[in-house]
Amino acid sequence: MKKNITLFFVLLGCFTTLFAQEPIEDKKKIVAKNAKLTKVADGFSFTEGPAVHRNGDVYFTDQPNNRIMRWSATRNEVSVFMEDAGRSNGMFFDRRGNLITCADLENQLWSIDDKGNHTVLIENFKGKLLNGPNDLWVAPNGGIYFTDPLYKRPYWTRNPEMQQDGEHLYYLAPDRLQFFRVDENLVKPNGIIGTPDGKKLYVADIGANKTYVYDIEEDGYLKNRRLFCEMGSDGMTIDFRGNVYLTGKGVTVFSPNGEKIAHIPVPENWTANVVLGGTDRKTLFITAMGAVYTLNMKVRGVY
């Protein structure tokens, strides 16, 4: 693994790019006054999985190139954190500072320390390969919820057909011994995020173009699934007001009661994921196709 290597094209991230864009829809004034969407860096193949470190830096994946990148919140620079990253996709930091990733190369869940050493947490379910863990959220108690849709990958050496009996939502308990499904009635689950108090979980069913919200029980099981909004999502995040941010065609923000309150256009064909980072957690960090963007916000993130 080559660490702290800054590539030429990402050095351009020091020189942010502003551009004319469609107007931002912002009913509840969550975007900072006069804020403009800024391109931080481009030249990637496909960016995904932004996760905010405790210091405000954001780690994200350049998934087709099999590496994890790091955006410095203080220097506004992008560098390589890890090569040979298991084709990591969705990511989230646990409270110990480990980066938990959906390692799609072998359809596993990884834990990566600050030196880039990885430990495999999950490699199958009941002896059969997972479809391909896609996105995850680490609950306050250390339990991990993750989605497992099937997106056939050209780099797989495995049988590309579905090994499980569907595309489900899973939970890995804090003891790392209990591992079970928590919803088997989704079409294609994808984006996922929970509330910082550990009481609610949001899951986007991109196959049904819906997002659901669940109540979380003490043992990790879910109850009272209900429709949150009529929109699916690739990635998701949440702010301190409980607003939920969905992605796809730009970033669409919903209030805690499912009302659409904002839309942030992004000049790319697809917006994959989003997180609130920066030292004050008021920088909306957006991964979209081969680029990453930032937008200054009034509201702050909770992770």
86 within some domain: yes
Instruction: For residues 183-200, give the mean pLDDT.
Output: 98
Burial class of residue 29 in the structure, from the number of CB atoms within 10 Å of its CB (0-12 exposed, 13-18 middle, 19+ buried): exposed
Q: How far apart are CA 179 and CA 32, in angstroms?
A: 42
Residue tagged 């190139």 (tokens): 65
CB atoms within 10 A of CB 35: 17
pLDDT of residue 7: 43
pTM equals: 0.93
Rg of the chain over CA atoms, in angstroms? 18
pLDDT of residue 173: 98
Q: Quick check: 72 pLDDT over 60? A: yes
79-125, pLDDT tens digit by residue? 999 999 999 999 999 999 999 999 999 999 999 999 999 999 999 99
19-54, pLDDT tens digit by residue? 557 899 999 999 999 999 999 999 999 999 999 999
Domain with 77 in it: what CATH number?
2.120.10.30
Instruction: For residues 225-230, give the mean pLDDT.
Output: 98
Residue tagged 């008021």 (tokens): 282
| Residues paired with residue 51 on neighbouring β-strands, in sequence order | 59
End-to-end, the C-alpha distance of the chain in Å comes to 27
Q: Quick check: 129 pLDDT over 80? A: yes
172 within some domain: yes
Answer left, alpha or beta for residue 86, where phi above 0 means left and psi between -120 and 50 means alpha. left
Collapsing DSSP states into helix, strand and coil, what is residue 65?
helix
CB atoms within 10 A of CB 117: 11
179 within some domain: yes
Q: What is the domain range of residue 54?
A: 28-296
Instruction: For residues 207-217, give the mean pLDDT.
Output: 98
5 within some domain: no
pLDDT of residue 22: 84
Instruction: For residues 208-215, give the mean pLDDT.
Output: 98
Residues near 256 by beta carbon (within 8 Å), at least 6 away in sequence = 241, 242, 243, 244
pLDDT confidence tier of residue 17, bands split at 50, 70 and 90: low
Q: How far apart are CA 64 and CA 80, in angstroms?
A: 14
260-286, pLDDT tens digit by residue? 999 999 999 999 999 999 999 999 999
259 within some domain: yes
pLDDT of residue 218: 95
Q: How many domains does the chain have?
A: 1
11 within some domain: no
Contact at 8 Å (CB) between 191 and 219? no
Q: How far apart are CA 264 and CA 258, in angstroms?
A: 17
pLDDT of residue 59: 98
| Residues paired with residue 125 on neighbouring β-strands, in sequence order | 128
Q: How far apart are CA 86 and CA 166, in angstroms?
A: 23
227 within some domain: yes
